[in-house]
């Protein structure tokens, strides 16, 4: 990697501000439902502790829109992190100000504090220089370990570069290296699986990745727009009319490059996307006018499985159906299990797909599960992330 990492800096005795992504799912009672985003940052935090740094962690949680929300305080995160580190992590009730400065000034080597939710301050999302400067006064060095937030030009992501040396954390390094290596010399056949709801969010991935892959498999809600582009009636499925012509051009481009694009042959349909809704399987040519696509069907699962078993590199971004509802989760579950069993490089592109493989207990069977939904989308689209661009070069 061409960017400096925390290993390239002497940190002993220094105050190190670490941007992490602790945006964990949490219920209204403050119970963390999945601590994956905390666990993946442990290598960087542990490295700093063992090298006698004074560790000042900062993160956002939820969308409080610049206002204090008692349900979005980071105290529960600090408690869980304390358990994982087996040492005290002090949660602060503010992110900036005199009291924060006092606590930080009294820190000893190896101690850890967690600032309050950055998004309680309007200056965070506005990338306000004043807010960034106040944060920077807490530290001697800035470490960005929040790949999942690095597509945002926020004060704690890009604003620090004006005031502090900025380097990558170990998770950030791993994310960049894994996603970059996909395109350097991938083992072939190379397949990309694209799902999820909206074509618009994935178009740039497809435009960037099609010249580099051998096979594209399309599922999820976005399959409706692709099927419509091929002339299928998709009932009341959500279609993006303004993307149909673009989808056609992408399929034509793939054909000209010898890249195969496989769309579903059959789908699970329902009137409403609800748990108790009646659902059945139909061929894509026979989707009823009053039904919508909720998942890929068994013939499609079989075809996708047969193709994936031949592949040596697989990238997957976007579930195959409404996996949150059990009766519409079979496509996502089946494809997860297939990918987990491959002797191949397998990369899960964050967001809902990462959530799905984690829930299924298959995350450790993948080569890499990205922590960034929007960030991995932007990275795979060939765009430089703002939070990566500001890191110091080696």
Question: Domain end: 174, 193, 208, which one?
Answer: 174
| Number of helices and strands in the chain (H, E) | 15, 15
Query: What's the distance, CA 126 to chain centroid?
Result: 22
The reply to whether 198 belongs to the active site is yes
Instruction: Judge if 226 and 359 occupy the same domain.
Output: yes
Q: Which of 174, 197, 224 is where one domain is finished?
A: 174
**Can you tell me the mean pLDDT for 171-178?**
94
Least confident window among 27-36, 86-95, 225-234: 27-36
Does residue 154 sit in the same domain as residue 60? yes
- CATH number of residue 132's parent domain: 3.40.50.1260
**Is residue 118 included in any domain, yes or no?**
yes
Co-location of 64 and 207 in the same domain: no
Domain limits for position 41: 6-174
Query: 248: pLDDT confidence band, cut at 50, 70 and 90?
Result: very high
Catalytic residue among 37, 54, 174, 228: 37
Q: Based on the fold, state whether residues 82 and 153 are members of the same structural domain.
A: yes
Q: Chain-centre distance of CA 384, in angstroms?
A: 15
The whole-number pLDDT of residue 383 equals 82
Statement to judge: residues 186 and 170 lie in one domain: no
Tell me, yes or no, whether 1 lies in a domain: no
Q: Which residues pair with 54 in a beta bridge?
A: 15
Express each pLDDT in 353-386 by its tens digit.
Answer: 998 999 999 999 999 999 887 888 788 878 889 9
Same domain, 191 and 296: yes
Over residues 112-127, the mean pLDDT reads: 98
Do 229 and 255 reside in the same domain of the chain?
yes
Residue 389 lies inside a defined structural domain of this protein: no
146 vs 369: CA distance, rounded Å: 14
Q: How many domains does the chain have?
A: 2
- Residue pair 290/271 in contact (Cβ under 8 Å)? The answer is yes
388 part of a folded domain: no
Of the residues 174, 201, 223, the one at which a domain ends: 174
Q: Is the pLDDT of residue 331 over 90?
A: yes
pTM: 0.86
Same domain, 306 and 332: yes
Separation CA 100–CA 136 (nearest Å): 12
Residue 336 lies in a domain: yes
Please check whether residue 385 lies inside any domain of the structure.
Answer: no
Of 159, 351, 372, 373, the active-site residue reads 351
Would you say residue 286 lies in a domain?
Answer: yes
**pLDDT for 199:** 79
Do 29 and 78 lie in one domain? The reply is yes
The rounded distance, in Å, linking the Cα atoms of 150 and 347 is 19
- Please pick, among 4, 14, 133, 198, the residue that the annotation labels catalytic: 198
- Mean pLDDT over each residue of the chain, to the nearest integer: 94
Q: Tell me whether residue 60 is in a domain.
A: yes
What's the pLDDT score for residue 26? 87
Tell me which residue of 343, 335, 307, 305 sits closest to 319, measured CA to CA: 335
Tell me the C-alpha distance between 175 and 102, whole Å.
35
Q: Mean of the pLDDT values across residues 176-198?
A: 89
Specify whether 165 is located in the same domain as 18: yes
- Cα separation, 40 vs 171, in Å, equals 7
Dihedral sign for Cα 125, 368, 40, 63, please: positive
Dist. CA 365–CA 380, nearest whole Å = 22
The band of 198, judged by pLDDT with boundaries at 50, 70 and 90, is: confident
Same structural domain for residues 165 and 187? no
Looking at residue 287, its pLDDT comes to: 96
Active site residue 253: no
Query: According to the model, what pLDDT value does residue 51 have?
Result: 98
321/356 same-domain check: yes
What is the token pair recorded at 237? 């499925």
pLDDT, residue 184, reads 84
Percent of the chain with pLDDT over 90: 84
């Amino acid at each position: 990697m061409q960017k400096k990492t925390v290993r390239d800096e002497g940190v002993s005795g220094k105050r190190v501000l670490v941007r992490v992504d602790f945006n964990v799912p949490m219920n209204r009672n403050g119970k963390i439902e999945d601590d994956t985003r905390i666990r993946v940052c442990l290598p960087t935090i542990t490295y700093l502790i063992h090298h006698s740094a004074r560790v000042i962690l900062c993160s956002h949680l939820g969308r409080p829109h610049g206002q204090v929300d008692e349900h979005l305080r980071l105290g529960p995160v600090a408690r869980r992190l304390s358990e994982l580190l087996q040492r005290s992590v002090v949660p602060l009730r503010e992110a900036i100000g005199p009291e924060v400065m006092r606590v930080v000034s009294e820190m000893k080597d190896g101690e850890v504090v967690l600032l309050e939710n950055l998004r309680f301050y309007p200056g965070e999302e506005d990338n306000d220089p004043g807010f960034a400067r106040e944060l920077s006064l807490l530290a001697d060095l800035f470490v960005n370990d929040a790949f999942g937030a690095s597509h945002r030009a926020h004060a704690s992501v890009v604003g620090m570069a004006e005031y502090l040396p900025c380097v990558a954390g170990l998770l950030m390094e791993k994310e960049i290296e894994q996603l970059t290596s996909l395109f350097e010399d991938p083992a072939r056949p190379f397949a990309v699986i694209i799902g999820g709801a909206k074509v618009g969010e994935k178009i740039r991935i497809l435009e960037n990745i099609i010249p580099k892959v051998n096979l594209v498999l399309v599922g999820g809600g976005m399959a409706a727009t692709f099927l419509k582009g091929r002339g299928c009636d998709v009932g009341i499925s959500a279609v993006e009319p303004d993307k149909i012509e673009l989808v056609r051009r992408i399929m034509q481009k793939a054909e000209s490059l010898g890249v195969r694009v496989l769309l579903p042959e059959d789908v699970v349909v329902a009137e409403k996307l609800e748990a108790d809704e009646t659902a059945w399987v139909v061929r894509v040519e026979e989707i009823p006018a009053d039904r919508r696509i909720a998942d890929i069907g068994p013939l499609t699962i079989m075809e996708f499985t047969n193709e994936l078993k031949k592949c040596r590199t697989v990238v997957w971004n976007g579930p195959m159906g409404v996996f949150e509802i059990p009766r519409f989760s079979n496509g996502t579950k089946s494809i997860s299990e297939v990918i987990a069993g491959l002797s191949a490089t397998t990369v899960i592109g964050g967001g809902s797909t990462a959530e799905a493989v984690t829930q299924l207990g298959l995350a450790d069977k993948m080569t890499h599960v990205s922590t960034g939904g929007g960030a991995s989308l932007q990275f795979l689209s060939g765009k430089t992330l703002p939070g990566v661009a500001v890191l110091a070069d080696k």
